[in-house]
Amino acid sequence: MKNSKITNTLTFDCETGNYHTFCPISCVAWLYQKIEDSFFLVIGTKTCGYFLQNALGVMIFAEPRYAMAELEEPDISAQLNDYKELKRLCLQIKHDRNPSVIVWIGTCTTEIIKMDLEGMAPKLEAEIQTPIVVARANGLDYAFTQGEDTVLSAMVQRCPTSSINEKQEQKSSLVLFGSLPTNVATQLNLELERCGIQVSGWLPSQRYVDLPVLNETVYVCGVNPFLSRTATTLMRRRKCKLISAPFPIGPDGTRAWLEKICDVFGVKPIGLVERENQIWESLQDYIALVRGKSVFFMGDNLLEISLARFLVRCGMIVYEIGIPYLDKRFQAAELDFLEKTCHQLNVSMPRIVEKPDNYNQVQRIRELQPDLAITGMAHANPLEARGINTKWSVEFTFAQIHGFTNARDILELVTRPLRRNQALQNLGWNQLVKS
Amino acid sequence: MKLAYWMYAGPAHIGTLRVASSFKNVHAIMHAPLGDDYFNVMRSMLERERDFTPVTASIVDRHVLARGSQERVVENITRKDKEENPDLIILTPTCTSSILQEDLQNFVNRASLDSKSDVILADVNHYRVNELQASDRTLEQIVRFYLEKAKLKNELNIQKTDKPSANIIGIFTLGFHNQHDCRELKRLLTDLGITINEILPEGGSVTNIKKLPNAWFNLIPYREVGLMTAKYLQTEFDMPYVAVTPMGLLETENCIREIITVIKNYEPSYDFDFESYIDTQTRFISQAAWFSRSIDCQNLTGKKAVVFGDATHAVSMTKILSREMGIRVSCSGTYCKHDADWFREQVDGFCDEVLITDDHTQVADMIARIEPAAIFGTQMERHIGKRLDIPCGVISAPVHIQNFPLGFRPFLGYEGTNQISDLVYNSFTLGMEDHLLEIFGGHDTKEVITKSLSTDSDFEWSPEALSELQRIPGFVRGKIKRNTEKFAREQNIKTITLEVMFAAKEAVGA
Ligand code: SF4
């Protein structure tokens, strides 16, 4: 064996939590687009508004179905009545947009002043006759994509327990959870259909009024690694049966995900191995670029474990997987898969760093000089100026990366800086800061 | 509570961070929840900064809520002190710290005992001031801190430089074309035989603040940031300041005249032939004066424009359009509500109406009502313009990445006047071109609607329909007319009534 220093198990560290990530309220950006009849009201301050306006960029000019309920000084000092204020704003929203649901996003400020959103919502809902869902997606408790987790877990409560045609529902059905662009959801539906499994619904659905039926006969399976609260709520509140699988990211992940579901439903999938191989075959040009290259995940969106696992399978060496928060139970199958993949390819296990410290990470990056750092936009340009190739992590959240069909898109992102290098490499301008 | 979709000026802490990160070797630590360090993204992306933004957060989380943040804040400050050796650390409160009501000053006092660097608490309140006010305040606070410190240590030398000299105050990061303006101002002052003493805060060092009083005067190019500092320096050190924004030919001239007056006050023998300097620059170096005489600009005479932006740029632009180009400014407005009186006074006589608001829907309604031929505003107005098919030149923050050009694009000084002429001319000609294309069939028409122009079409319009058509804003009227007639043609309708118009509208959803 050439590699005697291989660590055989994954190591887990935890640092200071001083890292850069998006505030979880950013989930409104993709959720309002996904749930077409919704309206998201973020109850917070100018700080929250400023973040959304800048992070959402041009989307903001397209009359989005979201708004800030901006808290002003009298709201903070309780001179104004929260309930009356929210009622005024919600009536206006109802009048202007007539949504099927208003989602209240609680923020740091509503937490600190202990605004009782959960208490007020049912009353106001009854009064204005529009459902109000409350999600506390604040920066005190969560990071970036976890915002979606809080919204979906609040939506679980709103799903019907039985359909109109109840008898037909006796046999077990499958509901997938996680917000994906509609065409990606359709692709996954089709992959399952090929295996002979019918998806009976998605959480979230494209319209709020079409939320799926959830009860003890329903199997649920997640499509994204940051949905641990939603999973817990599905099991505890709706007695759904959770299928724990790796996530359908990369052809390897997709096959493992499908196989696990098939296994639960007692179906023998046909042709999956061939399908996976076919996809790998089609990725060869990109894989040639990444093979043997090293990568460092600074960590900010919780997709890191799955992406790292896929990249190891592509022949990359992963030095570090930073991750905001790791639910070892919800990600158990994925962690296991990562470990197996490393064994199979005979590469050393990456170090997993929960709540990373960006300052320390930059020191480690300087030492390790990885071929690629996957990082937030705050660090990307400064690292590039120091000759480190970077890929902005946020793009992985907005690109289509699930299923067999989209594996190429992941590599498209990962190889972009490497391909740029091929074009520019002989110019000798890699170090662009004065030392 | 206020229903808000968009804001012109950011929260207070952004202002403090902009000032802090403009200085060299100053580090800001935000007292904030995870996710509020979005400033770093903006600076790194918009300014394309090569260096790490010297801003970190002392994270407020559940643990902090339960136990208080003293320990963590102090630890973060002393850690940063060791890691980066900054000259100054500024603890920056956010909306979250405003309501937690912890004694941040006390943490600062504690931390400064163990730190080599100076430590101060930015004196800004989220609920009272916005980004711009906060930056003005923070800059003054830092300047005051270092001058008082120097005084205490007896290191203050208030002797003036031998030759006339100036401080330029208010150039900072993420400011609209600030870097370019700064270069242009330096050139202007050099032309006048004035040396630059200090530039603050961009690229400045806090250790040099004690040299500020050596300058003969302070130049404050922007209304929003620097005035507080200038006033402090005036009261404390009797330093005069010039706060005329040298934007446009006339205001540049005013600015120069004020500077000359200030200098002659110190040194009556200063004999710079500024009359001929101004004359040469105006008539021959800058192209703007010639441009306003040229027949191109003649075509703009009396055209309607709307101006909106921060106080500095909206005022200057309004004056330029109406005084220097003969364009009719139908409405001039600003989102700097805190400076409304000054704004009104400045634009008085140069526009038909004034709008002071930070609500972009009011701005949009105003624009839709006035239907100007061009808009000069922020990125928001650019998008409003897009929707209404009116061209827009961006003249003020808030801005996008395309407003941080790599090429030299000052708005101030004589080169600035050239840039502004281009901007104005391009906005209007674009509008004209579009309009002409529209009249002659449109450039993106996919199918031929009719062989002849719709003006001599063979449709009969009922009087009601015709008056409804007149009510439709001019820039879409032609389109609506064509769509209606196309619909009528398809339906074999000869007379166009109100019903037909509405049916056509429903059919195309426009
Ligand atoms: S971290 Fe808190 S205060 Fe900041 S944007 Fe997010 S919810 Fe708002």
**Interface test mutation site (partner B, options A15, A19, A20, A25, max chain B beta carbons within 10 A):** A20
Whether residue B36 has its Cβ less than 6 Å from ligand 1: yes
Q: To which residue do tokens 């069939």 refer?
A: B441
What's the fold here for domain B460-509?
A: Helicase, Ruva Protein; domain 3 (1.10.8)
Of B114, B296, B348, B365, the catalytic one is: B296
B379-419 confidence digits (pLDDT tens): 999 989 988 889 999 999 887 877 888 999 999 999 999 99
How many angstroms separate the alpha carbon of residue A230 from the centre of ligand 1?
22
Q: Are A214 and A237 in contact (CB under 8 A)?
A: no
Q: Contact A64/B5, CB-based, under 8 Å?
A: yes
* Domain ranges (residues) in chain B: 12-129, 165-285, 290-440, 460-509
Better pLDDT: A16 or A433: A16
| pLDDT at res. A30 | 92
What CATH class is the domain B290-440?
A: alpha beta
What ipTM was estimated for this complex?
Answer: 0.91
Q: Contact A23/B4, CB-based, under 8 Å?
A: no
Averaged pLDDT, A199-226: 95
Q: Which residues pair with A132 in a beta bridge?
A: A102
Whether residue A106 has its Cβ less than 6 Å from ligand 1: no
Report CA-CA distances (Å) from A111 to A116, A153, A211, B294. 9, 18, 28, 62
B371-387 confidence digits (pLDDT tens): 899 999 999 999 899 88
Residue type, A5: K
Residue nearest (by alpha carbon) to ligand 1 atom 1: A139
Residue type, B90: I
How many angstroms separate the alpha carbon of residue B257 from the centre of ligand 1?
48
Q: Contact B126/A92, CB-based, under 8 Å?
A: no
| pLDDT at res. A357 | 96
Say yes or no to pLDDT of A42 above 80. yes
Enter the pTM of the model. 0.88
Concatenating the DSSP letter of every residue in A155-221 gives HHTTS-SS-SSTGGGGS-EEEEES---HHHHHHHHHHHHHTT--EEEEES-SSGGGPPP-STTEEEE
Put simply, whether A72 touches B (Cβ < 8 Å) is yes
Rama region for A302: left / alpha / beta (φ>0; ψ in -120 to 50; rest): left
Domain B165-285, second-level architecture: 3-Layer(aba) Sandwich (3.40)
Whether residue B99 has its Cβ less than 6 Å from ligand 1: no
Q: Contact A143/B5, CB-based, under 8 Å?
A: no
Say yes or no to pLDDT of A160 above 70. yes
Q: To which residue do tokens 């643990």 refer?
A: B63
Whether residue A147 has its Cβ less than 6 Å from ligand 1: no
Please give the span between the terminal C-alpha atoms of chain B, in angstroms, as a whole number: 34
CA distance A21 to chain B (A): 5
Nearest to B135 by CA among B201, B88, B230: B201
Cα–Cα dist A394/A417, whole Å: 15
* Domains with residue ranges and CATH for chain A: 11-17+274-424 (3.40.50.1980), 24-142 (3.40.50.1980), 173-265 (3.40.50.1980)
Query: Which chain B positions have a beta carbon within 8 Å of A382's beta carbon?
Result: 44, 49-53
Cα–Cα dist B476/B123, whole Å: 50
Query: Which chain A positions have a beta carbon within 8 Å of B45's beta carbon?
Result: 377, 381
Q: Contact A359/B126, CB-based, under 8 Å?
A: no
Domain B12-129 and domain B165-285 have a common topology: yes
| Type and span of the H or E element at B331 | strand B328-334
Cα–Cα dist A177/B308, whole Å: 46
Longest Cα–Cα distance in chain A? 73
* Atom from ligand 1 closest to the CA of residue A44: 8
Whether residue A225 has its Cβ less than 6 Å from ligand 1: no
| pLDDT at res. B258 | 96
Nearest to B391 by CA among B419, B431, B425, B429: B431
Closest Cβ–Cβ partner in B53, B61, B127 for A378: B53
B466-477 confidence digits (pLDDT tens): 888 877 766 667
Closest Cβ–Cβ partner in A43, A49, A73 for B127: A73
Residues lower than pLDDT 70 in chain B: 430-457, 473-476, 508-510
Query: Which chain B positions have a beta carbon within 8 Å of A143's beta carbon?
Result: 34-35
| pLDDT at res. B478 | 74
Cα A284 → chain centroid: 27
B243-258 confidence digits (pLDDT tens): 999 999 999 999 999 9
How many angstroms separate the alpha carbon of residue A83 from the centre of ligand 1?
21
Q: Is B422 a catalytic residue?
A: no
**Interface test mutation site (partner A, options B41, B42, B45, max chain A beta carbons within 10 A):** B41
Q: Contact A93/B65, CB-based, under 8 Å?
A: no
The residue of chain A with its CA nearest to that of B29 is A18
What's the fold here for domain B12-129?
A: Rossmann fold (3.40.50)
A26-36 confidence digits (pLDDT tens): 999 999 999 99
A88-141 confidence digits (pLDDT tens): 999 999 999 999 999 999 999 999 999 999 999 999 999 999 999 999 999 999
Peptide linkage before B201 cis (omega within 30 of 0): yes
Q: Contact B4/A144, CB-based, under 8 Å?
A: no
Closest Cβ–Cβ partner in A22, A89, A377 for B35: A22
Query: Which chain B positions have a beta carbon within 8 Å of A17's beta carbon?
Result: 34, 59, 61
Cα–Cα dist B218/B165, whole Å: 9
Better pLDDT: A428 or A147: A147
